[in-house]
Amino acid sequence: MKDFIIPGLDGAPAFSDRDFGTPARTSQRTVTLTIDGFPVTVPEGTSVMRASNTLGIAIPKLCATDNLEAWGSCRLCAVEIEGRRGTPASCTTPVTEGMVVHTQTPKLHKLRKGVMELYISDHPLDCLTCAANGDCELQDMAGAVGLREVRYEAPPQAPLANHFLRRQDGDANPQFIPKDDSNPYFTYDPSKCIVCSRCVRACEEVQGTFALTIQGRGFDSRVSAGMAGDSFLSSDCVSCGACVQACPTATLQEKSVIEIGTPDRKVVTTCAYCGVGCSFEAEMRGDTVVRMTPWKHGKANRGHSCVKGRFAWGYASHGDRITAPMIRERITDPWEVVTWDEAITFAATRLRDIQARHGVKSIGGITSSRCTNEETYLVQKMIRAVFGNNNTDTCARVCHSPTGYGLGRAFGTSAGTQDFDSVEHTDVVIVIGANPTDGHPVFASRLKKRLREGARLIVIDPRRIDLVRSPHVEAAHHLPLRPGTNVAVVTALAHVIVTEGLYDERFIRERCDWDEFQHYAEFVAQDRHSPEAIALLTGVDPQDLRAAARLFATGGNGAIYYGLGVTEHSQGSTTVMAIANLAMLTGNLGRPGVGVNPLRGQNNVQGACDMGSFPHELPGYRHVSQDATRDVFERLWGAVLDKEPGLRIPNMLDAAVEGTFKGLYVQGEDILQSDPDTHHVAAGLAAMDCVIVQDLFLNETANYAHVFLPGCTFLEKDGTFTNAERRINRVRKVMQPLNGFADWEVTQLLANAMGAGWAYTHPAQVMDEIAATTPSFAGVSYELLEEKGSVQWPCNELHPEGTPIMHVDGFMRGKGRFIVTEYVATEERTGPRFPLLLTTGRILSQYNVGAQTRRTANTVWHDQDVLEIHPHDAEVRGIKDGDWVRLASRAGDTSLRALLTDRVSPGVVYTTFHHPDTQANVITTDFSDWATNCPEYKVTAVQVALTNGPSDWQVDYARQADLSRRVLPAAE
């Protein structure tokens, strides 16, 4: 889209759309030059094109754009420089002191017109019906250079060679390549390609996938995905959209734009999928989303995206979406559509009735890591102040609760220490128990970029994840440990660092408790923690482990990124502490390029934790037993708060089975599918008298619900999400809620029906309340977010603009604590009946339980969960690729198809949990982290055998699910 923003030297709009042509440079040294008579001062290394743009003078260009390094192929950006011969390309020419540049001269005018004529002579002139009409840089440039005619004429006997005519003189045109429609979200139309190679460079530089190449030379050259014969879909393309974004023409074009037309306005908002929290512009026509494009000023993503946020938003208008409230007496009844009034009254009356019969503590609620901070805050407020107990929990319980506990103990705050930009300064990266290219794709792209610049990588994971070896990235070390042995491996890394004297004594003396360190050093130095001693247990080569430890301790800035493969273990909290130890030991905290970085699963896991979702903590991680904290809330809320911790999700289910817990409000979560040991969850839910589910779809949990309150998507409400780097990002409403109410309004309706008397009219008021009660949020307001775009907590008097990097001058808790991390084997062991270890994960195109992504075209990449099994393990069981296999543990069994791969080690099998028909959680057990009860998803002893198809349980389950989803036809 064209922009007419003139960035002035002061008062410039902070978030201009202007394309400066080449990337910004950060040199401290500056250079002053004159362009068209205007003086300008820019950092050394800046291109003439960018310098000119900072003055508001746009030099015509085609192959340059400011998120890619200059390429210099189109020659349209030629300028004249006094004292230099010829007409150098301004995109590839760096500024020099005193340079005098002219951007528009008769010579340049003529030259550019000539260049454009050549391009246009091989371009179909169907602008009026082209999807990029009005949003095409080729069109813009034809205008900018004053192109008025194309003088190339065909010689009399042969037509002009071109790429756009299907047939010429009755014969097929050998240069013509038909459109590639294979990707569900965008098309590739080679006839419109100007071979600027922006797409190729975007795929390399921004995304790091290297799926595209330019095939052929000269006039024959064309963009090609993958190998000859590949389409976009069959190539390595991961559908991130970077190439589509980069393409100046309609060659690579979103199908949604082809279908709907160009957008007329843009609203900046935040992706509602993963914890990277990418900023997007929702490009709208009326109240229809035309496309979502990554926002270049988004500080988490810096203009990049992945397939989920960029393309997979179609679920918002999927036919399965429920938009009217429904109730039923018993879960065996069909649903009855009712008014909001009836549904809310039904729910409120039932909950109060349960409390009258079974006590105040017999009900509770679950907040969502997918909802906004404001919504989460209100749900926990309702539970504490209106229900009158602390039975609030969140699905963060099942993913990152050990992070909160472990980092809280070690450093004093329950959050990652860095911003994502930090990765640009890192030299050695440990990725442990995370699979960023699938789980946190945009972070993975930023990491890969740094790795291509020379940073080194250590992967600690049972599986050979993509990062271990991918185009132009190769891990220095991959330590393929047996699932469940994280603590042993991380402690062994510390053993090497301590016994070889590689630790950072100065840092430790200054910043940590020295006595504790000495005790810790003595502990890790014991022989039983050496790589050799643990090799049998962990399966990790001791030499490799030693080399990795040395590299991390001596390779420069060291950063650790970890995911659910760390937390979802019976020793999850201990591993988090072991990671914190490792960072302190090597002095890798408190500056860019280092730190301990949990990669959060869902978009607002961080926020859900911050907002007091846990049963023992009020907002800001303050224990419910603290009188002063309760006092703050009691005064504001006008209610007496319980000072004893409430039930956590697994405890709620236990209590339900036992008969003391009877009512549950679940906002935006599907605990039946996402929580471990499905049979136990189902039994707990079935034992309750009132389950209220608020969601977009009739999810699996809703099969056990009595009240269904329709929810809305992130496109339909205002609020904030907090991503993995503690960044509070705005979510903005771009359309009215299809169900009539934003989720926070629904909570307010229920709370008020139970006597709350709330009167919020906008989430900004909720944020003000959060700021007024929670010291780390004291400075946060919607005004500040409007002005800054986003802000990282703590944001208060001490840090008015937020805190990109924590613990800069010292730890939040004072001295950092070294905590002894003894390895304890999980009780979940393999044996003759269950000889294999199952571990679970996720893949790029699907998200969590899949409720959203399964309702988009993303299913072309993953239409079912499969079981990865090593060829050896498969062979002894007679299993071939694609066979149906039965996967059984002591908790249950299910069936799915096998995929033979040596990505997993012998003895280990792996699957995802995106599809309800598979229900990998039927298999997982109720073992959990010792400190937080975070379930042990990542280790289950299993057996695998050939079978014919879905298990009886799956068939029954599907039947029961169908039954429980019946809706009575609306009464006339």
Site residues, ligand FES (CB under 6 A):
61-64, 72-77, 89, 91
Binding mask 616-645 for another protein (x = CB under 8 A): x------x-x------------------xx
Binding mask 237-256 for another protein (x = CB under 8 A): --------------------
Closest to 299 measured CA to CA, from 274, 266, 270? 270
- How far from the centroid of its chain's Cα atoms is residue 363's Cα? 33
Binding of residue 651 to another protein (CB under 8 A): yes
Residue 888 CA to residue 924 CA, distance in Å, equals 10
- The strand pairing partners of 596, in sequence order, are 560
Binding of residue 615 to another protein (CB under 8 A): yes
Interface residues for ligand SF4 in 677-716 (CB under 6 A)? Answer: none
DSSP per position, 782-815: HHHHHHHSEEESP-SSS-TT--SSS-SSSBTTBS
With respect to another protein, which residue has the nearer C-beta, 325 or 408? Answer: 408
CA-atom Rg of the chain in angstroms: 29
| Beta carbons of 271 and 852 less than 8 angstroms apart | no
| Beta carbons of 198 and 208 less than 8 angstroms apart | no
Name residues whose C-beta falls within 8 Å of residue 366's C-beta, 6 or more positions apart in sequence: 392, 393, 394, 395, 649, 664, 665, 666, 667, 669, 671
Residue 58 CA to residue 751 CA, distance in Å, equals 56
Closest to 344 measured CA to CA, from 635, 902, 678, 741? 741
Task: Match 């393990």 to its residue by tokens.
Answer: 873
Q: Which residue, judged by CB position, is nearest to ligand SF4 in the bound state? A: 309
Degrees to nearest 5, angle at CA 806 with 802 and 809: 110
Query: What sign has the CA pseudo-torsion 651, 653, 659, 662?
Result: positive
Residue 662 CA to residue 358 CA, distance in Å, equals 8
Q: Of 273, 411, 811, 818, which one interacts with ligand SF4 (CB under 6 A)? A: 273
212 binds, among ligand FES, another protein, ligand SF4, none (CB under 5 to 8 A by kind): ligand SF4
Q: Of 341, 658, 787, 801, which one interacts with another protein (CB under 8 A)? A: 658
- The strand pairing partners of 729, in sequence order, are 721, 790
Whole-Å CA distances, 138 to 178, 194, 250: 21, 9, 9
62 binds, among ligand SF4, ligand FES, another protein, none (CB under 5 to 8 A by kind): ligand FES
Residues in the interface with another protein (CB under 8 A) total 35
- Least Å distance, CB 226 to ligand SF4, is 9
Binding mask 438-477 for ligand SF4 (x = CB under 6 A): --xxx-----------------------------------
- Least Å distance, CB 90 to ligand FES, is 6
Q: Of 184, 263, 277, 598, which one interacts with ligand SF4 (CB under 6 A)? A: 277
Interface residues for ligand SF4 in 192-221 (CB under 6 A)? Answer: 193-199, 202-203, 207, 209, 211-212
625 binds, among another protein, ligand SF4, ligand FES, none (CB under 5 to 8 A by kind): another protein
In 295-348, at which residue ranges do the beta strands (DSSP E only) sit?
Answer: 326-327, 336-337
| Beta carbons of 123 and 192 less than 8 angstroms apart | yes
933 binds, among ligand SF4, another protein, ligand FES, none (CB under 5 to 8 A by kind): another protein
Query: What sign has the CA pseudo-torsion 8, 10, 15, 19?
Result: positive
With respect to ligand SF4, which residue has the nearer C-beta, 40 or 442? Answer: 442
Q: Is the peptide bond before 794 cis (omega within 30 degrees of 0)?
A: yes
| Beta carbons of 16 and 3 less than 8 angstroms apart | yes
- Least Å distance, CB 362 to another protein, is 10
Copy the structure tokens of residue 863: 């239409």
Whole-Å CA distances, 944 to 885, 886, 905: 6, 6, 15
Binding of residue 361 to another protein (CB under 8 A): yes
Copy the structure tokens of residue 502: 């590689």
- Least Å distance, CB 306 to another protein, is 36
Interface residues for another protein in 386-405 (CB under 8 A)? Answer: 390-391
Interface residues for ligand SF4 in 422-441 (CB under 6 A)? Answer: 440-441
Binding of residue 271 to ligand SF4 (CB under 6 A): yes
89 binds, among another protein, ligand FES, ligand SF4, none (CB under 5 to 8 A by kind): ligand FES
Degrees to nearest 5, angle at CA 364 with 725 and 276: 15
238 binds, among another protein, ligand SF4, ligand FES, none (CB under 5 to 8 A by kind): ligand SF4
Backbone angles phi, psi at 319, to 5 degrees: -60, -25
Interface residues for another protein in 660-679 (CB under 8 A)? Answer: 660
With respect to another protein, which residue has the nearer C-beta, 537 or 967? Answer: 537
Binding of residue 612 to ligand SF4 (CB under 6 A): no
Rounded to a whole number of angstroms, the distance between the first and last alpha carbons of the chain is: 49
With respect to ligand FES, which residue has the nearer C-beta, 74 or 851? Answer: 74
Binding of residue 420 to ligand SF4 (CB under 6 A): no
Task: Match 């029961």 to its residue by tokens.
Answer: 960
Residue 805 CA to residue 794 CA, distance in Å, equals 10
Q: Which helix (H) or strand (E) holds 473?
A: strand 473-474
Q: Of 145, 238, 407, 898, which one interacts with ligand SF4 (CB under 6 A)? A: 238
With respect to another protein, which residue has the nearer C-beta, 390 or 803? Answer: 390
Binding mask 517-556 for ligand SF4 (x = CB under 6 A): ----------------------------------------
Binding of residue 819 to another protein (CB under 8 A): yes
Residue 330: CB atoms within 10 A of its CB come to: 7
With respect to another protein, which residue has the nearer C-beta, 191 or 821? Answer: 821
Q: Of 42, 120, 240, 476, which one interacts with ligand SF4 (CB under 6 A)? A: 240
- Bin 641: left if φ > 0, else alpha if -120 < ψ < 50, else beta: beta
Binding of residue 554 to another protein (CB under 8 A): no
Helix (H, G, I), strand (E, B) or coil at 51: helix
Task: Match 């269904």 to its residue by tokens.
Answer: 708
Name residues whose C-beta falls within 8 Å of residue 322's C-beta, 6 or more positions apart in sequence: 695, 696, 697, 698, 708, 710, 739
Interface residues for ligand SF4 in 302-341 (CB under 6 A)? Answer: 305-306, 308-309
Residues in the interface with ligand SF4 (CB under 6 A) total 42
Degrees to nearest 5, angle at CA 508 with 505 and 510: 105
With respect to ligand FES, which residue has the nearer C-beta, 66 or 868? Answer: 66
- Least Å distance, CB 51 to ligand FES, is 14
Q: Of 480, 598, 646, 711, which one interacts with another protein (CB under 8 A)? A: 646
Binding of residue 355 to another protein (CB under 8 A): no
| Alpha helices per DSSP H over 712-759 | 743-753
Binding of residue 875 to another protein (CB under 8 A): no
Binding mask 821-850 for another protein (x = CB under 8 A): xx-x--x-----------------------
Closest to 371 measured CA to CA, from 695, 850, 674? 695
- How far from the centroid of its chain's Cα atoms is residue 207's Cα? 14
With respect to ligand SF4, which residue has the nearer C-beta, 103 or 253? Answer: 253
845 binds, among another protein, ligand FES, ligand SF4, none (CB under 5 to 8 A by kind): none
DSSP classification of residue 425: G
With respect to another protein, which residue has the nearer C-beta, 107 or 519? Answer: 519
Residue 297: CB atoms within 10 A of its CB come to: 16
Residues contributing to the site for another protein (CB under 8 A): 361, 390-391, 516, 519, 570, 573-574, 615-616, 623, 625, 644-648, 651, 654-655, 657-658, 660, 819-822, 824, 827, 926, 928, 930-933
Residues contributing to the site for ligand SF4 (CB under 6 A): 193-199, 202-203, 207, 209, 211-212, 223, 225, 237-243, 246-249, 251-252, 271, 273-274, 276-278, 301, 305-306, 308-309, 440-442
